[in-house]
Structures are given as C-alpha cells and as structure tokens.
Amino acid sequence: MLILQRMATSSSFISTPLLKASSSFPTHFLSPLKHCVSAPSTEFRALALYRNRNGVSTSSAAVATETQVSTQDDKLKETQKEKSDKLEKVVLPTNESSESLLRIRHTCAHVMAMAVQKLFPDAKVTIGPWIENGFYYDFDMEPLTDKELKRIKKEMDRIIGKNLPLIREEISRDEAQRRITALNEPYKLEILDSIKEDPITIYHIGNEWWDLCAGPHVEYTGKINRKAVELESIAGAYWRGDEKKPMLQRIYGTAWESEDQLKAYLHFKEEAKRRDHRRLGQVLDLFSIQNDAGGGLVFWHPKGAIVRHVIEDLWKKIHIERGYDLLYTPHVAKADLWRISGHLDFYKENMYDQMNIEDELYQLRPMNCPYHILIYKRRPHSYHDFPIRVAELGTVYRYELSGSLHGLFRVRGFTQDDAHIFCLEDQIKDEIRGVLDLTEELLLQFGFSKYEVNLSTRPEKSVGDDDIWVKATSALRDALDDKGWSYQIDDGGGAFYGPKIDLKIEDALGRKWQCSTIQAS
C-alpha cells in the first residue's frame, strides 16, 4: 500500500472636482455652499460668501467645468499609461539568461564592499553574492542609515568611473591566510577554512582592494552603468544564518545592464508594493499580526474571516464531491508520536520546544500526517475500502526566525490544506492523476493558470527502502506524463519520507510562489 499526500498552502477612489478661486479674494474665505449642475454646460459651481470692510456681503463663484477636469484627468492618465506601458514592454534579463548581467551584479557587490571599507575603515567584510534581482554584501559594522547609503552609492560611482581592472590571482592557502590576517578580517579566515579547493583565487579591483572570490566579474569597473545601479535597503542578518552568531549589516542593491531596465524594475517594484498583501490586509481590514501576541501569528478580522469562510466552504464542497472524507485533529500530541514519524530526527529545528504535562512530553504539531495515519490505523481495512481519501484544513505551528517572518507568506502558525490518500499499488497512478486534476481545479478558481512544475527526488537524508522510493518516484512521473504537464527534475529536493511534485504558481506580476505539493511514500 502507498500513501499519497497533497498540501497547499477592490479599491474605491473618491474624485473631488477642482475648484478655482476668484482672484478677488484669498482662498481661505471660500466656503462651499452647494454644487449646481447645469445640463448644457455640465458645470460644477462652488459659491462662497465673505464680508468686506464695510460689512457688505459679496459673492464670488469658483468654477471648473467637468469637461476641463475630465480632459486634464484623461491627459494625466494617458501619460501615466504610456509611461507604464513602455516600462512593461522592457524585457528584464535574468542571471540565467545573461551572463554579462550576472558578472555586473557580482562585481557591484565587490565595488560596494570596497566603497564601504573606504568610507568606514573599521567595517569587516564577510560575503557578497549576486542574487535574483541584484546583489548584497554583509558587513560587521555599526548600523547604517539611509543617508549613509547615499554616501556609499556616491563612492561606488567614483570607483566605477575610475574604470579599474578586475584582476584574478591564484595564491597558496598559506599566502591567503597571511594576507587576510594582515588585514584583520576574521570572517574571511573562517571562509578560507571552508574552501576545500587549492589554489585559492582572489580578485583585485585595481591595486586598491581585493576579496576571496572565484568570479566571474566584468573586466573593468567601467563596464558597469552607474545609472543602472541602485542601493535599495539595509537589513540585519546573522552570520551564517545562526542567531547565536553576530548580527551583521546587509546592504541590498539592484543592478542592470541599462538605465531602462532599472526603471522597468523599479516600476515592477512599485506595482508589487501596490499589490502587497500586507498593505491590502490593513487597508481592507482583513487581518493583522499583533505584537502583544507574538510575531508570525495571524489574527483574522471580521471581513477577513468572511473571505476565509467563503474559501473554506468552496474547498469543502470540492473535496466532498471528489470523494474525500473531512477530518478535524488536535493541535498537540505526545512527543513520542513525532519521534516515531521521524520528524524529531529530520525536522526538529522547525518544531517548538516540548511541554511537560503530567510527566509526559507533548509537542505542537508542525504537520498533520501522523494524525491522519493514526485515524487510518484505528481499525483493519479490506482491499474493498481502497482508495481511502481524507482531508483537513489543519492548523500547524512551525518555528521560524523572527527575521524571516513575512506577512502571511512566512508565519509561525497557519492552516494548511492537507489531504492523504491510502491506496493499493495498482491505484496509485490514477489517484495521483486525480490529485493533479483537483489541484488544477482549485488553482483555476483563483485565476492561477501558469505553473512551474518540479519532480523532487530522494534527498541525502531520508527514510524508507530503495524499492519504495523507486516505485513512488515512477508513479509521480507517470502521472505527470499522463497529465501532459512539462516538468523539471529537482534532484534531491524531495521530503525525507518521499518524493514529491511541487507546483509554483505565477502571479499577476510574473512572480513565482511555491504553492501545492503532491507526495508519495
């Protein structure tokens, strides 16, 4: 028998007519009395009264025609739309599609580190990679301000303008250690210890600065377009991602091949900010995260609860129609259950500490799987019973570092659409295909029609016999082929207990988000 698991994790605008004050009196005397609409001219009139020195009441009309307002608004909207359309037509390259862009970003990280150390000689350097939309570098130094960020960018521009060569040098490990020690760079010594290959490669920027690095880089700093580089933000980051180690200052930057690409990227960021669910959650009064309760714990407000209720009702209806039985299970269980399931061995860093209750250890659940298996095991089953499909909107709790929390996307407590299918070996392909169809149906309900599909195979740390892994992986592959979806192999990306199909959905801005997972074990 095999077990299948599936998991998933309007604005109104008020337009006010323009009022043009008469030049015969100051605007602070204007007191609107009424709006009069004249059919032939469609004028909006605002009448105002004031007293002059002699106590004589005088009236003055402030008039703006609807046609004028409409024309001005239309021109403004048309200009904005043309600008927006132009930016949206710019095709942004990626690190994968453009090696020159990758080189630019990597070199920008080095140039930024050089600029920081010129301005702040006591700053210690750590690592500075290229990332999806730019680069970052981590420094051990005093916290930076936005004003200092501008100084750093100005110094970067100066370095770029000098058109300094990027020179690769190979040295022995002992020589690298000697040079790093002379510079008093303790983090670089730690990085050197983690490098297994010899000789050690370093990159110089002219003869003014160097760093441990394997490349690649541009040939000269002048190859970077200064107007296509921008420093974006400062954040705290623990060294090596370990909260017990020093907190570093991380500077994020973005870099592109041209100024037009940078403008298009910044436009994309503004659109993303406008659609940011954290902002919309506040504006629409849907949800909040209360500091008094703790980070990563979501409070659904009345309006948000209605939205959630509608979604959950739809979810229940579709699952019942598809032959699933609904479950409700506890939020906590004996720690022994998580030891038997393997979670304590493979997932402990994401679990909360255990609680001692009447001399027994209990633990908040990070997943629902063991509960569903307990329900399955409550009685013997005939082969006539299969397939058995169960589903739950189960609330789980996972420990996340405070620095990684992000709105509803990265939380410490969330409700997960979680289903398990217990089936015979000859049923598995059809059941997986059914799950793929169900997943597609649910995603289409919310307008998601573009996916990236990955088949994730056995990781280095795993449980189970080789035979089960081979059969489960083959079944997932066969179902994908039968569905006709194109997919990529994510070698070693499976869960510790089984291979899986991962779906990343694409949003309105073309960003991809991990959403649905189908596992076999």
| Residue 55 CA to its chain's centroid (Å) | 66
Domain 428-521: CATH architecture, name and number where available: 2-Layer Sandwich (3.30)
Q: What is the pLDDT of residue 210?
A: 95
Q: What is the pLDDT of residue 314?
A: 96
CA distance 156 to 395: 48
Burial class from Cβ neighbours inside 10 Å (0-12, 13-18, 19+) for residue 369 reads: buried
Cis preceding-peptide flag for 246 (omega within 30 of 0): no
Could you tell me the CATH superfamily of domain 99-255? Answer: Threonyl-trna Synthetase; Chain A, domain 2 (3.30.980.10)
CA distance 366 to 378: 22
Q: How many Cα atoms sit within 13 Å of 64 on the Cβ side?
A: 13
Listed in order, the ranges of the chain carrying CATH 3.30.980.10 are 99-255
CA distance 511 to 516: 16
Listed in order, the ranges of the chain carrying CATH 3.30.930.10 are 301-423
Q: Given CA atoms 38, 42, 43, 45 in this order, what sign does their dihedral have? A: positive
| Secondary-structure breakdown of the chain: helix, strand, coil percentages, each rounded to the nearest 5 | 40, 30, 35
Task: State which amino acid sits at residue 427.
Answer: Q
Q: How many Cα atoms sit within 13 Å of 442 on the Cβ side?
A: 26
Q: What is the pLDDT of residue 403?
A: 78
Q: Do 64 and 18 touch, CB atoms closer than 8 A? A: yes
Q: Do 498 and 519 touch, CB atoms closer than 8 A? A: yes
Q: Which residues have C-beta within 8 Å of that of residue 103, sequence separation ≥ 6?
A: 216, 217, 218
> DSSP assignment, residue 220?
B
Q: Given CA atoms 351, 356, 357, 360 in this order, what sign does their dihedral have? A: positive
Listed in order, the ranges of the chain carrying CATH 3.30.360 are 428-521
Report the chain (521 residues): mean pLDDT per 10 consecutive residues. 65 30 34 34 30 37 50 62 64 91 97 97 95 95 93 97 96 95 94 92 95 94 96 92 90 96 93 91 96 94 97 96 97 94 89 94 95 96 95 95 87 94 92 94 91 92 88 92 93 90 85 88 81
| Residue 196 CA to its chain's centroid (Å) | 33
> DSSP assignment, residue 78?
H
Tokens of 46: 């605002």
Q: Which residues have C-beta within 8 Å of that of residue 192, sequence separation ≥ 6?
A: 173, 176, 177, 180, 200, 212
Q: What is the pLDDT of residue 450?
A: 86
Beta strands in 162-270 (DSSP E): 166-171, 200-205, 209-212, 229-238, 247-255
Q: What is the pLDDT of residue 295?
A: 93
Give the domain 301-423 fold: BirA Bifunctional Protein; domain 2 (3.30.930)
